[in-house]
Structure 1
Amino acid sequence: MSKAISLQTRLIKTSLFSSMLAGGLALLLFTGISLYQTMQLQDQLMDEIADMLLMSDLSTSSGQQVDELSDEFDIQYQLKDRQQVLSESNNFHLHNSSSKLPNHVSEGYSFIWQDWQLWRIYSTEDAELNMSVWVLQPIAERFKDLAQNVMLYGLILIVLWFIQWLILHFAVKRQFKVIHQLSREISAKSADDLAPIHQQVPELKELQPMVWQLNQLLQRLEYSLVAEQRFTADASHELRSPLSAIQMRLQVLKRKYPELDQDLVSIQNDVNRGTQVLENLLLLARLDPAHTAQLPKSEMDVSRVINEVMQALQPFAAEKNIQIETQFAEHLVITGNDKLIFSCLRNLLDNAIRYAGQNGHVFIKMQQKQQRLSISIEDNGQGVTEEVLQRLGERFYRALGTKTQGSGLGLSICKKIIELHAGEIQFSRSAHGGLKVELQFPLPIQH
């Protein structure tokens, strides 16, 4: 079974992802624009420093201003007259004799890789004064402030995404209240309530087609249930009447033609079996596990019900000389419908007597296991295969090769009765050789 996906979670993730994608693109755009503006601004600053070095008297305030700009933006400069250095910054990167400016650097702006870092270089010269200027700045210095701004912008984005997640979580959850209310209204539907579903205000347009289809389905289901109930009532009346008439005619024929008694007994058994099948089918149709609250229940002594079942089936057990051995725990009471429990236990015990064989044994054990009542019914009949165990409880299923008669509905009825009582039924091989059926019922909470 595939794992269910929350639509609410998916909507939140999709909205947040789209916002993060837009924020990431905005961050990249901001970084690109800021990088371009920073490069332009720093290049203009290098150009102004070069102009000030060529045109101003460095012994005046202009020289002091150049030094202040150089220190503030980590810009290094060198002013030369032919081969003689007229002025240079204190931290000029290529001030020693072992390092020289590369010859391939042309006038204007360019980049060089020197001492394991990238430098921005601006060079210009004044032909009239026969002087040249070199201005250098490490690229890392330009990115320092830019990196701080990008980090600040990214931190703001993370905070905004977190706030958006909170808003989306509560906003989407609030909008889903309509869907949850619709889900509760659908789950509350039963065979007794198939009225159309109405959306809560405000109505969601996306849900209107689904609600309309559900209402159409409920309407068709209501028609089907009414038709089924009518058929059940008609079938009950129409089938019971001819079966009762056949039984009456058989009684008349037995008295009128005693020599045909043996043949008529076989017909009588077939009619009785047909009557039993009919009663079982009608009982299955009436049992509905969805209506457990409407089932009349009361506290009942299980040992008393078992004794009544044994008394009812005693003639059948005596006919085959079946020994029924019991082991009861005293004063075990459950809350249930005594008539249905009686029918369930009668079916199981009747099944055990049928399959135990001549001179067989049936074992009934009742005990308390934690907060549950356990009832096991076993017989010493022929062993059952794993395939038979898997199919026990199916309607009309009877194991092949058995000579016992039955409708194949008894265990199906038992399963439904156990479901109505929130219990469990398990089939397994008996240690005595036949089938073991174990029932478990919840015990009432002691106050």
Structure 2
Amino acid sequence: MALVSAAFGAVFFTFTRARYKSIAQISDQIDLVLHNADYLYISESEEGELSILQSEITKMTLRIREQNEALKKEKSHLAESLADIAHQLRTPLTSANLILSLLKNNPVEQERKALLRETEELFIQMEWLIASLLKLSRLDAGIVVFRIGPVDVESLIDASLRPFLISMELHDIQVRTDVPAGTVVSGDSGWLSEAVQNILKNCIEGAGDNGRIEIGCSDTPLYMEITLRDSGKGIEKEDLPHLFDRFYRGKNSDASGYGIGLALCKTIITRQGGTVTARSHPQGVALFTIRFPK
């Protein structure tokens, strides 16, 4: 019995010592992972509980690395976005300050009124830019709760066109709609109207004076589709892949706008399960397509 006990004691001591040694090695490996960004712990091929633990540590390490990389990219994107926002706001502010200095030294009443109108337009643009950036930030933060329900497409188009009626009348832009009565899509009517308005704004700028905008709708067994087409020159081939990117203003340095509207439009629609695309029609016009799958 003494010999058997001694043998078991020796085996237990050897086994326990080996386990403690393995645990100490794992502890050292974890310390290296924590203090060396380039080090990655790979578990050994031995079977047993410690091997499972080593494997889980490796998975956890990879997951943490992925999250850190994602945070670095998000931080970099945030820094770039803040720089872009500052640049976008600085442009109209600089113009407004210049106009105010001209107003101060200009005694001609008619010219002063013209400068005041330009200043008002700049502040309206800044107000729209700030409001759009706030909407984008709310969507990015995930604090927007969409009130999903049936939305009548005809009413949606009418509500989206309403803010532009005066502008279209001044520029003699004709709008033709072909939306079957009773066509319904599932979504948040207020946010969908915001999305369509941003596309309409782009179409109005593209159509120019004496232009045309055509709005159509088709209902298929797979999806409901809304199309918006203007009579402008179309979209440059180089701009198409980046048209919905945030702060993208086109390869033409004289392009108007801030590169916010279409990015906001895409975010709103995709968050509600839809898709939005743009292409140049063979006739040269710009064609935007919104689809909601059934």
Q: For 2:122 and 2:133, how far apart are their aligned partners in 1?
A: 16
* 1:365 aligned onto 2:238: no
* 1:425 aligned onto 2:276: yes
Contact 1:363 1:378 in 2 (8 A): yes
Task: Please state how far the C-alpha of 1:358 moved relative to its aligned partner.
Answer: 0.8
Any stretches of 5+ residues in structure 1 without a counterpart?
1-200
Write the letter of the residue equivalent to 1:276.
Answer: W
Q: For 2:114 and 2:144, how far apart are their aligned partners in 1?
A: 49
Task: Please state how far the C-alpha of 1:403 moved relative to its aligned partner.
Answer: 6.2
Match of 1:206 in 2: 55
Match of 1:262 in 2: 114
Distance 1:404 1:214, change over 3 A: closer
Match of 1:410 in 2: 261
Task: Please state how far the C-alpha of 1:213 moved relative to its aligned partner.
Answer: 6.3
Task: Please state how far the C-alpha of 1:267 moved relative to its aligned partner.
Answer: 2.6
Pairs aligned (count) = 225
Matches for 1:245-394 after TM superposition, within 5 Å: 259=110, 260-288=112-140, 295-394=146-245
| Structure 1 residue matching 2:217: 3-state secondary structure | strand
Matches for 1:127-146 after TM superposition, within 5 Å: none
Contact 1:378 1:432 in 2 (8 A): no
Contact 1:426 1:439 in 2 (8 A): yes
Task: Please state how far the C-alpha of 1:418 moved relative to its aligned partner.
Answer: 1.8
* Aligned sequence identity (%): 24
Any stretches of 5+ residues in structure 2 without a counterpart?
1-48
Task: Please state how far the C-alpha of 1:361 moved relative to its aligned partner.
Answer: 0.5
Distance 1:327 1:267, change over 3 A: same
Distance 1:212 1:294, change over 3 A: farther
Task: Please state how far the C-alpha of 1:268 moved relative to its aligned partner.
Answer: 2.5
1:439 corresponds to which of 282, 290, 293: 290
Q: For 1:427 and 1:385, how far apart are their aligned partners in 2?
A: 11
Contact 1:376 1:436 in 2 (8 A): yes
| Structure 1 residue matching 2:197: 3-state secondary structure | helix
* TM-score of the aligned structures, taking structure 2 as reference length: 0.64
CA deviations 1:106-152 (Å, max 9, x no partner) are: xxxxxxxxxxxxxxxxxxxxxxxxxxxxxxxxxxxxxxxxxxxxxxx
* 1:399 aligned onto 2:250: yes
Contact 1:375 1:440 in 2 (8 A): yes
Q: For 2:248 and 2:269, how far apart are their aligned partners in 1?
A: 19
Task: Please state how far the C-alpha of 1:430 moved relative to its aligned partner.
Answer: 2.6
| Structure 2 residue matching 1:359: 3-state secondary structure | coil
Distance 1:402 1:293, change over 3 A: closer
Distance 1:365 1:403, change over 3 A: farther
Task: Please state how far the C-alpha of 1:326 moved relative to its aligned partner.
Answer: 0.8
Larger Rg: 1
| Structure 1 residue matching 2:244: 3-state secondary structure | coil
| Structure 2 residue matching 1:386: 3-state secondary structure | coil
Match of 2:29 in 1: none
| Structure 2 residue matching 1:330: 3-state secondary structure | coil
Contact 1:426 1:438 in 2 (8 A): yes
| Structure 2 residue matching 1:296: 3-state secondary structure | coil
Q: For 2:128 and 2:57, how far apart are their aligned partners in 1?
A: 48
Write the letter of the residue equivalent to 2:55.
Answer: E
Matches for 1:130-209 after TM superposition, within 5 Å: 204-209=53-58
Higher relative contact order (CA 8 A, sep 6+): 2
Q: State the superposition RMSD in angstroms.
A: 3.8
Contact 1:422 1:442 in 2 (8 A): yes
Distance 1:218 1:383, change over 3 A: closer
Task: Please state how far the C-alpha of 1:359 moved relative to its aligned partner.
Answer: 0.5
Contact 2:239 2:251 in 1 (8 A): no
* TM-score of the aligned structures, taking structure 1 as reference length: 0.43
Write the letter of the residue equivalent to 2:245.
Answer: E
Q: For 2:153 and 2:126, how far apart are their aligned partners in 1?
A: 31
Task: Please state how far the C-alpha of 1:344 moved relative to its aligned partner.
Answer: 0.6
